């Protein structure tokens, strides 16, 4: 598992301590990012929710030297209080946070947004996918005395309608707006907040969307580069934003999707 992403070793993150939220398995974007940060010398803690996820995450964490695994439910204040208490005890201060947490009910990720979205499902998606980043930023900023970097994950469905993305697209739009407000509020403390808008990739999140696998093929066919979004590219962007190379960059949504986001329409022979 440690060799899933063989990133070159370096020193760019040596001495940096951070929190990665959202590692689910070896295909998750959070895992790809964590692997890159570890290769550059970062010390990290992972959060997980529930025993099943812990069983998946622990071997991954151990394979890159992550010793601190913390249970955390982003919908529960007491759980988050405890999680950040442990982080402060273990690390003292933080330099970066990678937030890769999102959820919407599967039955709302298909068909009509208007007809299938429920009040309960809408609020749940907003709570987990958008508000959780606000809450994490509030907590993490208290233990970032030397400034730092907050990174979250989004997708193009926040900007444009994507079939079946529905409630998640609206939640991601709120997440991106929240990122800008977080960047404004925490900027004077030297804390940067940015979002990475990755193209469709083979993750558990994509599997939960009706027709999700087809999004990968379409993304490749209609992208400027005619290639899949690579984990190396997404992880490299996160490395830039988390490291000192990312200084002066805040409040941004950085697209890493082989140029899919900027295409107006496919070439005639591709349509």
Query: What positions carry a catalytic annotation?
Result: 155, 165
Q: How many CA atoms lie within 13 A of 201 on its CB side?
A: 24
Phi then psi for residue 197, to 5 deg, are -100, 95
Dist CA 267 CA 232 (whole Å): 27
Contact assessment for residue 180 and residue 133, using Cβ atoms and an 8 Å cutoff: no
Sign of torsion, CA 112 116 118 124?
A: negative
Q: How many whole angstroms separate alpha carbon 53 and alpha carbon 267?
A: 43
What 3-state DSSP class applies to 251? coil
Take residue 235 and report the two structure tokens written for it: 């992880």
Per this entry, what is the length of the chain? Answer: 271
Of the candidates 51, 50, 84, 52, the one whose C-alpha atom is nearest the C-alpha of residue 68 is 84
Asked whether 34 and 66 are in contact (CB, 8 A), the reply is yes
Q: How many whole angstroms separate alpha carbon 253 and alpha carbon 206?
A: 20
Residue 193, helix vs strand vs coil:
strand
Give CA 220 to chain center in angstroms.
21
């Amino acid at each position: 598992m440690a060799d899933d992403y063989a990133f070159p070793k370096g020193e760019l993150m040596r001495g940096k301590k951070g929190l990665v939220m959202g590692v689910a398995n070896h295909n998750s974007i959070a895992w790809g990012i964590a692997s890159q940060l570890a290769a550059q010398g970062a010390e990290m803690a992972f959060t997980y929710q529930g025993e099943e996820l812990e069983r998946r995450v622990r071997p991954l964490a151990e394979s890159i030297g992550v010793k601190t695994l913390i249970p955390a439910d982003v919908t529960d204040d007491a759980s988050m209080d405890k999680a950040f208490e442990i982080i402060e005890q273990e690390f003292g201060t933080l330099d970066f946070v990678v937030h890769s947490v999102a959820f919407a009910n599967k039955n709302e990720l298909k068909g009509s947004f208007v007809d299938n979205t429920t009040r309960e499902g809408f609020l749940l998606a907003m709570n987990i996918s958008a508000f959780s980043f606000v809450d994490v930023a509030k907590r993490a900023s208290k233990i970032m005395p030397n400034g730092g970097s907050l990174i979250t994950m989004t997708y193009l469905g926040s900007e444009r309608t994507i079939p079946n993305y529905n409630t998640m697209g609206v939640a991601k739009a709120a997440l991106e707006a929240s990122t800008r407000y977080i960047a404004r509020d925490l900027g004077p403390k030297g804390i940067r907040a940015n979002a990475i808008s990755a193209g469709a990739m083979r993750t558990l999140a994509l599997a939960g969307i009706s027709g999700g696998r087809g999004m990968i093929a379409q993304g490749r066919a209609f992208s400027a580069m005619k290639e899949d979004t690579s984990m190396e590219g997404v992880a490299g962007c996160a490395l830039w934003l988390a490291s000192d190379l990312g200084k002066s960059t805040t409040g941004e949504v950085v697209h890493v999707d082989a140029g899919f986001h900027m295409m107006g329409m496919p070439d005639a022979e591709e349509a």
